[in-house]
Structure 1
């Protein structure tokens, strides 16, 4: 026997149950985005590598991208992120667009990373941005969209929290400690590793990076000061707006949020599942003021975030927040009584579909017991049968699988009877 061909490492196979989860997330992110007036958009799945060389870090371009030369000799890549495409498309029509632009997208991305829990090489990602406004209130709106999504899937503030920090606030604190600008990438990585290291080893590591003891003590004070946000006019306005938007209970200030701090120019935020098995962020984003500089556009401020479906899917499964999986999207099954009534059953199914119902029709004659077992496995709610007696009297038998009741009704009344059962 030939050996089975395996899927490519890090890619995903979406059987109907996995597809239902992906669609559930897509529907929820879309609903949250549209409720705030955001428009759906998308970009090519394949881009030239030059686009990422202009907008992204060297590691993303050289180590994490799926790159190849196409048949025309061009060096291209499967898209690893969306921001460069967003920048190019906005710059191309910057003079025609109505600002502020509110856009969202949900689509596939690829990164050549080591697959592990919460991370695959192929993933779907929600991207959402507001462009053309630089106020803290705009930042608050994006955070509110994220909180609205979390609430819509059943995650309460005790289960999922959005942690906020601010680049300008942290820069002012680092200035006061005399931490050189060129060391701030190292300090950012240092803070990010704090929860993963023993305190003594973390202190030693900080000193090895070049901080002196006074700076280290000052840094610890900063990271333990959860009222520090009150020193930032931006964050004071942000939290006031979040309260007005009705989502402040989902958001907390945390000076330890450093990831992306050197890319973003103002507010940064990340959401985490507070007690689950996945320690990766559910979503993350912030304010950026240099979106179009490398692609030929005029200066434009923006704020946005991204959320991958892999971590979100794990969170929803672990917390039992997924809706019941119904194998059949059609709640009605029309049976085939026997060969002589096959066309009659097919015609009935067509009539019910024309009446606006979703209908499965068993594809061949079989014992009714077998067809009812199929209906049970597919979790349909109603089974409709046309036997010889029903056919002779222009009737159908309608069985409610929810309560087991069966009635015989005129064929023209079947659709209405079924609608009352399925609601």
Structure 2
């Protein structure tokens, strides 16, 4: 059991809310803005590259006739991408400094791969949006900014890259920042940190630049190490989706105990707490908690836990333990979605909806609009959503679900739409309103 100061420290570390902890970030931008080079520079200068990786990159660069190692190859890992000189998939990289651990998703820049940016940014705490200093803010810049806004990414870094190509002029940087800030504000993005840099030369990525003495802010790495990680899941309402039910003999071997196993999506749970089993609405009391096979008095998100209740209720995978009946389970969901499949999503289409640990039949009742992601305008959508489209939909499910507003809880406010015929993922959804039966 954990109590007092130790419990506080464990909870803070578990949820990653110290100045250290784990930061999930996504890099995005237009083609040739230098995302892969930036990530390569970040990995190389933090000494996160293994010797065999460095040797392989040097060999590929040599075959291409380059004088030095091409740092972009640290993220352009697929052979097809190397041959084309572009990034077409989300490349995940893991690295650490003495202050913090990082999971980085390098997302593609092509317009037709916008859906991949949704994948990379869906769990991100911070988005790095690159801009080529020679080109300034372009349509794809604002498309990525709009997606970051829709996904409620808490922090945005505007990385004005290739400053070496404009002679490190402050006026260029200032103009780009002013334009981006105005347009980002229209999309509802308030927390923006702008950093001038050159990923190729290493200016302001890990080490400060002596060629931009007019800039007095942090380097990119320093900002990533110190940005506060808000949205502590332990401060939210209790949500425990049941993954499976464990039956095991009691300590006296006279009875069989039922434990409900799952990962806490949000909240804190203690022995003695009353809980509601949604969607049935049955109530009970927590009489046992276990983490990694050891019983304890208190658990918190995002721990994987097992819970024993005082009453023998009919509970199965897909049910959710909450502290009360708010929000009520319902069958209609209004949501913003990003369509991922090459086949269009159409009104009255039958799908499977996966929400936390539950997958149930559903139907797309109506597609209300398509979003112009360059300025967030709502456009008519009569023929369905195509690949990479973002729009508003209304969905009816076969069974009631406990769905939070995505703005309040990213974990329980998100869902996937799946093709019932072949099991492929069609659409990623973010609930933004709820309507009861």
Query: Normalised by the size of structure 1, how large is the TM-score?
Result: 0.26
The structure with more strand, counted as a fraction of residues: 2
Query: Normalised by the size of structure 2, how large is the TM-score?
Result: 0.25
Q: Which has the larger radius of gyration?
A: 1
The structure with more helix, counted as a fraction of residues: 1
